[in-house]
């Protein structure tokens, strides 16, 4: 019998492994930079030529290797990171398979110079297409420099697969952006064809990393995530509704420092956000989950970024809570801010200057120090309150103190106004508030313990009606719900054919809004009840306006309007209007209702309900803080 089973020689095995792990220049960079991070480097420099097709060099100041290790690391399954299968469950490094270096060296001209700080001389190794060419002593700095030339020269199929230099460069830039977010203390630099593409100095402050990746303006529009339980923690930043994107491109999630995709995490994030906001845009997020390694499935393919957890439910609720808390405690209430200089001198201590060549260049901000030129920044550009009370950080990127995070299980409890007239907004940034009056019959003016609030009466009422209608049958709605008022004399209402169809389709939504309609044949309906809130404001006209808008919308969409949209339209039509005078009682009642809402900060479309001018900001404006 002829022998048909063969053992693959190492070099063939390496090349096959390379086919799986090394797809393109950026995957080489990923493996090398991850090794540098595992080696404890605090400074990592990546140099590419032709997007990495001609040359890739990664230089680090990590622990380096002695000669024996340097030779060994080029063998298959040589790793310093695990010793036995048991270790697999406690992996805290980015690599552990011992495959990357031999794989890369099997499909390129590979050059390594490495030296631990304790050693006198460096070791230099050359490998070409997997064949060890030379090992010798050399001069070199502490750390490791690996140079890859002619990637895929001996694997023509892969070679053909490479894209333009620009595309390959973009891949590496994206990769470095993710690494900057995950390893904000480490300095990264990227040079392409001799030009510096990215230079990030490293900072203990993760906001500096966010600014480097998404721009300083993004940092201003983001609030910190902060959730800790016994088995895991969630940190990072999520954007307010004022900063969203059309795609998920600015959403990055990490587990123990590793960039991942997780359905569980994405769902948890989306659901928390969607409970507070409608719309099809995506918030910007950098979310870091820290979890015991043994609860993460490590047995996934090295290039796959999908991750699984042994307790998906815990992860889901942690992410959900983190996002929800962040939005409710700080994310959704814009604060009025007097604009000031954003120059480097006024950056908070410990914030390294940021220098980004490609990507989001920062437009210089002018200092608006003179009284006459200062301006109030409105919601879209409002800045988070800064926290240290010195005023010296005016215009600083974000709070230097973390906003207070309150963990409330479920919704905050509703309390009627106390004797001093304060309404409790427990669990929210507001704390509690008291109505002072009404401005232009449009805005309710209120005060909290540390701020004056302007509340848009129409949007506030819209939110209250919307949540009450959406809740429909819940217990809360029985207490706070939309009260339908039976008409003593039921009215018949006539609709055109197209509108009648909408009425028939969305009768339950209308009913939730308090309009009780019964079909009476053809386009005729009997109106038996109307919402009490609009009973004396011409309810039939309001009903017609709602139906007209629903008809227009469904024509535009060529689909019936969803239940929620119908309710949003109804709440808009039924809410008090700008220009409606309100009594103190009515305003207090409205804000008491608002305090009971799941989200008292934005209308269903994300427009802000309240604007805060903090006492601190006022004091600054009145020059009460400062040298005098």
Task: Quickly list DSSP for 318-365.
Answer: HHHHHHHHHIIIIIS--B--B-----GGGSPTT----EESSS-PPPPP
CB of 183 to Mg ion, least distance (A): 15
Interacting partner of 96 out of Mg ion, ligand ADP, none (Cβ under 5 to 8 A depending on kind): ligand ADP
Dihedral angle at the C-alpha atoms of 285, 288, 294, 299, nearest 10 degrees?
Answer: 50
CB of 21 to ligand ADP, least distance (A): 9
Q: Which of 104, 115, 165, 175 is nearest to 140 (CA)?
A: 115
Contact status: 175 vs ligand ADP (CB under 6 A)? no
Give 312-316 contacts, CB < 8 A, sequence gap 24+.
312/264, 314/229, 314/231, 314/232, 315/232, 315/262, 315/264, 315/265, 315/268, 315/289, 315/291, 316/264, 316/265, 316/267, 316/268
Contact status: 547 vs ligand ADP (CB under 6 A)? no
Nearer to Mg ion among residue 103 and residue 471 (C-beta): 103
Q: Which stretch binds ligand ADP (CB under 6 A): 10-18, 58-66, 253-261, 517-525?
A: 58-66
Interacting partner of 98 out of Mg ion, ligand ADP, none (Cβ under 5 to 8 A depending on kind): ligand ADP
Q: Which of 11, 42, 80, 235 binds ligand ADP (CB under 6 A)?
A: 80
Task: Quickly list DSSP for 535-555.
Answer: TTS-HHHHHHHHHHHHHHHHH
Residue 315 DSSP label? H
> Could you tell me the CA-to-CA distances from 85 to 90, 311, 613 in Å, in that order?
10, 22, 58
Contact status: 101 vs ligand ADP (CB under 6 A)? yes
Interacting partner of 106 out of Mg ion, ligand ADP, none (Cβ under 5 to 8 A depending on kind): none
CB of 78 to ligand ADP, least distance (A): 6
CB of 79 to Mg ion, least distance (A): 7
Contact 244, 331 (CB under 8 A): no
Contact status: 73 vs ligand ADP (CB under 6 A)? yes
Q: Of how many residues is the chain composed?
A: 628
Nearer to Mg ion among residue 110 and residue 316 (C-beta): 110
CA distance 200 to 420: 52
> Hey, which residues does 611 pair with through a beta bridge?
454
Interacting partner of 79 out of Mg ion, ligand ADP, none (Cβ under 5 to 8 A depending on kind): ligand ADP
Interacting partner of 80 out of ligand ADP, Mg ion, none (Cβ under 5 to 8 A depending on kind): ligand ADP
CB of 98 to Mg ion, least distance (A): 8
> Hey, which residues does 486 pair with through a beta bridge?
529
Q: Which of 561, 484, 549, 566 is nearest to 517 (CA)?
A: 484
Residues that bind Mg ion (CB under 5 A): 35, 95, 100
CB of 114 to ligand ADP, least distance (A): 6
Q: Which stretch binds ligand ADP (CB under 6 A): 12-20, 74-82, 420-428, 456-464?
A: 74-82
Q: Which of 19, 50, 66, 78 binds ligand ADP (CB under 6 A)?
A: 78
CA distance 130 to 110: 8
CA distance 216 to 595: 33
Of all residues in the shown chain, the one whose CB is closest to ligand ADP is 95
Query: In terms of DSSP H, where are the helices of 140-231?
Result: 156-161, 165-182, 206-214, 216-220
Q: Which of residues 16-35 bind ligand ADP (CB under 6 A)?
A: 31, 35
> Hey, which residues does 112 pair with through a beta bridge?
125, 146
Q: Which stretch binds ligand ADP (CB under 6 A): 75-83, 541-549, 564-572, 584-592?
A: 75-83
- CB-based contacts of 501: which residues, under 8 Å, 6+ apart? none
CB of 308 to Mg ion, least distance (A): 21
CB of 318 to Mg ion, least distance (A): 29
Nearer to Mg ion among residue 100 and residue 459 (C-beta): 100
Q: Tokens at residue 189, please?
A: 């630099």
CA distance 123 to 405: 52
Contact status: 130 vs ligand ADP (CB under 6 A)? no
Task: Reduce the DSSP state of residue 28 to 3 states and report it.
Answer: helix
Interacting partner of 415 out of ligand ADP, Mg ion, none (Cβ under 5 to 8 A depending on kind): none
Interacting partner of 18 out of ligand ADP, Mg ion, none (Cβ under 5 to 8 A depending on kind): none
What is the size of the binding site for ligand ADP (CB under 6 A)?
Answer: 22
CA distance 385 to 399: 6
Nearer to ligand ADP among residue 140 and residue 490 (C-beta): 140
CB of 73 to Mg ion, least distance (A): 9
Angle between helices 457-471 and 584-595 (to 10 degrees): 50
Nearer to Mg ion among residue 95 and residue 600 (C-beta): 95
Q: Which of 96, 153, 407, 520 binds ligand ADP (CB under 6 A)?
A: 96
Nearer to Mg ion among residue 101 and residue 455 (C-beta): 101
Q: Which of 135, 383, 340 is nearest to 240 (CA)?
A: 383
Nearer to ligand ADP among residue 31 and residue 462 (C-beta): 31
CB of 228 to ligand ADP, least distance (A): 30
CB of 288 to ligand ADP, least distance (A): 22
- CB-based contacts of 14: which residues, under 8 Å, 6+ apart? 76, 102, 103, 105, 106, 130
Of all residues in the shown chain, the one whose CB is closest to Mg ion is 95
CA distance 213 to 223: 16
Nearer to ligand ADP among residue 59 and residue 616 (C-beta): 59
Interacting partner of 36 out of ligand ADP, Mg ion, none (Cβ under 5 to 8 A depending on kind): ligand ADP
Contact status: 45 vs ligand ADP (CB under 6 A)? no
CA distance 35 to 88: 17
Q: Which stretch binds ligand ADP (CB under 6 A): 59-67, 120-128, 234-242, 313-321?
A: 59-67
Contact status: 124 vs ligand ADP (CB under 6 A)? no
Q: Which of 25, 98, 241, 348 binds ligand ADP (CB under 6 A)?
A: 98
Interacting partner of 179 out of ligand ADP, Mg ion, none (Cβ under 5 to 8 A depending on kind): none
Q: Tokens at residue 251, please?
A: 């959403």
- CB-based contacts of 296: which residues, under 8 Å, 6+ apart? 255, 256, 307, 308, 309, 310
- Tokens 């890369």, residue located: 104
Q: Would you tell me which residues interact with ligand ADP (CB under 6 A)?
A: 31, 35-36, 39, 60, 62-65, 73, 78-81, 95-101, 144
């Amino acid at each position: 019998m002829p022998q048909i089973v063969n053992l693959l020689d190492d070099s063939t095995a390496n090349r096959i492994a390379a086919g799986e792990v090394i797809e393109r220049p950026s995957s080489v960079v990923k493996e090398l930079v991850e090794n540098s991070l595992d080696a404890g480097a605090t400074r990592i420099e990546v140099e590419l030529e032709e997007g990495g097709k001609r040359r890739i060099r990664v230089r680090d100041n990590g622990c380096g290797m002695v000669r024996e290790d340097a030779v060994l690391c080029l063998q298959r399954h040589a790793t310093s990171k695990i010793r036995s299968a048991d270790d697999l469950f406690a992996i805290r490094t980015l690599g552990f398979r011992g495959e990357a270096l031999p794989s890369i060296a099997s499909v390129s001209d590979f050059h390594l110079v490495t030296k631990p700080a304790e050693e006198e001389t460096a070791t230099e190794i050359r490998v070409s297409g997997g064949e060890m060419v030379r090992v010798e002593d050399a001069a070199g700095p502490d750390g490791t420099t690996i140079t890859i030339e002619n990637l895929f020269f001996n694997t023509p199929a892969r070679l053909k697969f490479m894209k333009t230099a620009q595309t390959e460069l973009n891949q590496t830039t994206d990769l470095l952006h993710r690494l900057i977010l995950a390893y904000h203390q480490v300095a990264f630099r990227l040079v392409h064809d001799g030009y510096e593409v990215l230079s990030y100095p490293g900072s203990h402050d993760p906001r500096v990393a966010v600014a480097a990746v998404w721009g300083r303006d993004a940092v201003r529009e983001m609030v910190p995530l902060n959730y800790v339980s016994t088995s895991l923690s969630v940190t990072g930043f999520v954007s307010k509704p004022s900063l969203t994107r059309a795609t998920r491109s600015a959403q990055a999630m990490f587990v123990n420092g590793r960039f991942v995709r997780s359905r569980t995490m994405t769902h948890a994030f989306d659901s928390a956000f969607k409970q507070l906001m409608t719309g099809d845009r995506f918030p910007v997020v950098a979310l870091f989950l820290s979890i015991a390694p043994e609860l993460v499935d490590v047995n996934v393919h090295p290039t796959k970024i999908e991750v699984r957890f042994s307790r998906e439910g815990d992860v889901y609720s942690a992410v959900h809570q983190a996002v929800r808390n962040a939005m409710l405690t700080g994310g959704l209430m814009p604060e009025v801010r007097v604009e000031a200089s954003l120059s480097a001198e006024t950056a908070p201590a410990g914030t390294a200057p940021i220098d980004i060549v490609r990507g989001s260049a920062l437009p210089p901000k002018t200092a608006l120090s003179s009284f006459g030129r200062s301006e109030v920044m409105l919601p879209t550009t409002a800045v988070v309150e800064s926290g240290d009370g010195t005023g010296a950080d005016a215009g600083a990127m974000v709070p230097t103190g973390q906003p207070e995070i309150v963990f409330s299980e479920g919704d905050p409890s509703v309390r009627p106004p106390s004797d001093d007239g304060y309404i409790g907004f427990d669990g929210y940034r507001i704390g509690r508030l008291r109505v002072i009056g009404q401005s232009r019959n449009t805005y309710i003016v209120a005060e909290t313990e540390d701020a004056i609030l302007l509340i848009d009466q129409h949007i506030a009422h819209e939110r209250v009606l919307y949540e009450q209608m959406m809740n429909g049958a819940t217990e809360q709605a029985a207490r706070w719900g939309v009260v339908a008022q039976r008409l003593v004399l039921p009215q018949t209402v006539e609709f055109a054919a197209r509108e009648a169809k909408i009425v028939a389709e969305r009768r339950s939504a209308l009913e939730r809004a308090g309009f009780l309609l019964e079909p009476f044949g053809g386009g005729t309906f009997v109106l038996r009840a109307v919402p009490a809130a609009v009973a004396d404001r011409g309810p039939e006209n309001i009903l017609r306006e709602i139906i007209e808008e629903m008809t227009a919308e469904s024509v535009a969409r060529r689909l019936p309007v969803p239940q929620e949209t119908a309710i949003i339209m109804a709440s808009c039509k039924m809410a008090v209007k700008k220009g409606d005078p309100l009594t103190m009682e009515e305003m207090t009642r409205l804000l008491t209702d608002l305090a009971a809402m799941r989200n008292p900060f934005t209308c269903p479309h994300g427009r802000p309900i309240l604007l805060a001018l903090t006492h601190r900001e006022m004091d600054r404006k009145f020059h009460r803080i400062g040298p005098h």
